[in-house]
Structure formats: structure tokens, C-alpha cells
């Protein structure tokens, strides 16, 4: 685990106009975005430019420092789902009491955004 890295995991894709950077979710491993070709004097500089573009598609876990895509991020507690697992979600909707299926983000019945019981920020 790279953990507290400054950027998401990436792969460089060589292109005619420069190097493209493809950034990956730390948890799912899914490719979240691929940048436009960037040019820099050093690889470090290139990465910095590419990450300026790439990071808007990522969320930073405030606990472990992982960079993850929206699907692997719990915005209620600002943590990735490895730190704040979906299992911590309530079983029933707090608004209408409907039983919630695992993985639901919104209540099927009333449309409320499902939230964690405990918010530990």
C-alpha cells in the first residue's frame, strides 16, 4: 500500500504530444481518468501538471490518505470505503423506515440520501 502518496496511482501513456497520465482508484483499481498529454522538463513536473487535471475526479480519504473515485468514497465521513465500510450504513432508512439493500446510496422508497449512523470527523 502506498497510502499517503501525493497523487493517485498512475500509469504513463506515451503520446505524440507528450505523456498522458492515467490515474487509478486506490481501492477498486479502476481507471478514473486519463489526462490530456502533458509536457514538463522533468517527470516530477509532468506528474504535477497531470495531477492538477486528474485530482478533480478523485476524493482524498482523510483517514488513510488514499485517493479514490466517487464509487469508493463515503462523502458523509470524508473517508474511503476501506476506512468507513458500507457495512456501517444503517439497515433502515432514517426518514421512512424502509429496509435498505446493501450498496444503496439513496432510499428506494423516499429518495433520501442514506447516511452513516455515526459521523466520526
Among the listed residues 61, 72, 77, 100, the single contact to Zn ion using CB under 5 A: 61
Which of these segments, 2-10, 52-60, 70-78, 99-107, binds Zn ion (CB under 5 A)? 99-107
- The sign of the dihedral angle between the CA atoms of 24, 25, 26, 27 is negative
CB of 68 to Zn ion, least distance (A): 8
Residues 6+ apart with CB under 8 A from 13: 19, 20, 21, 22, 34
Q: Is 114 in the site for Zn ion (CB under 5 A)?
A: no
Task: Return the CA Rg of the chain.
Answer: 18
How far is 45 from 39, CA to CA, in rounded Å? 8
Among the listed residues 8, 47, 83, 100, the single contact to Zn ion using CB under 5 A: 83
Interface ranges with Zn ion (CB under 5 A) = 61, 63-64, 66, 80, 83, 93, 95-96, 98, 107, 109-110, 112
Amino acid at each position: 500500500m502506498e497510502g499517503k502518496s501525493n497523487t493517485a496511482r498512475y500509469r504513463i501513456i506515451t503520446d505524440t504530444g507528450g505523456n498522458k497520465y492515467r490515474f487509478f482508484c486506490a481501492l477498486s483499481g479502476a481507471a478514473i481518468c486519463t489526462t490530456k498529454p502533458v509536457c514538463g522538463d522533468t517527470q516530477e513536473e509532468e506528474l504535477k501538471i497531470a495531477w492538477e487535471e486528474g485530482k478533480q475526479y478523485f476524493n482524498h480519504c482523510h483517514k488513510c490518505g488514499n485517493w479514490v473515485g466517487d464509487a469508493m468514497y463515503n462523502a458523509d465521513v470524508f473517508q474511503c470505503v476501506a476506512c468507513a465500510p458500507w457495512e456501517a450504513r444503517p439497515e433502515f432508512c432514517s426518514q421512512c423506515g424502509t429496509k435498505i439493500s446493501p450498496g444503496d446510496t439513496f432510499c428506494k422508497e423516499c429518495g433520501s440520501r442514506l447516511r452513516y449512523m455515526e459521523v466520526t470527523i
